[in-house]
Amino acid sequence: MPRVRHQTLDCSPGCPVEGVLNLIDGKWKGVILYHLLDGTMRFNELRRRLQNVTQRMLTKQLRELEADGLIDRTVFAVVPPRVDYCLTARGRSLEPVIMAMKRWGDDNIMPQAAA
């Protein structure tokens, strides 16, 4: 089992929801997971898709997702260095959650933005 940053959820009955939100909290984690649903990506591919994220923030978010067992990071010993990111099985299991958020956003946020 991967090392998990958020191990204890000993609070109210809403803790499973809180636990999920702790895993995908922040502005970028959900978006990173959404893009990785398309398959393996390199750091710069992700950075191009998330145009407003800083390199430092993307690195931080990727490290946290990796520590939580949601993504795998593969480093290739080549020059220049190559690093690939992909979803783990645990990360892939969030696909219905991520897609439900996308559908909700399409239905509730995008129409308001267009108005």
- For the segment(s) 15-114, the CATH number from 3.90.1150.10, 3.40.50.360, 1.20.120.140, 1.10.10.10 is 1.10.10.10
Q: What's the one-letter identity of residue 5?
A: R
Q: What is the DSSP letter of 109?
A: T
| SS3 state at 73 | strand
**Half-sphere CA count of 44, side-chain side, radius 13 A:** 3
Unique residue bearing structure tokens 């219905």: 96
pLDDT, tens digit (0-9, with 9 covering 90-100), for 31-79:
999 999 999 999 999 999 999 999 999 999 999 999 999 999 999 999 9
Cβ-based burial of 22 (10 A; exposed 0-12, middle 13-18, buried ≥19): middle
CA distance 14 to 76: 41
Q: Residue 114: pLDDT above 50?
A: yes
Whether 79 contacts 16, CB under 8 Å: no
Segments making up each domain of the chain, as ranges: 15-114
Q: Using N-to-C axis directions, what is the helix angle for 29-36 and 55-67, rounded to 10°?
A: 70
pLDDT the model gives residue 113: 66
Q: Residue 7: pLDDT above 90?
A: no
Whether 19 contacts 9, CB under 8 Å: yes
Q: Residue 112: pLDDT above 90?
A: no
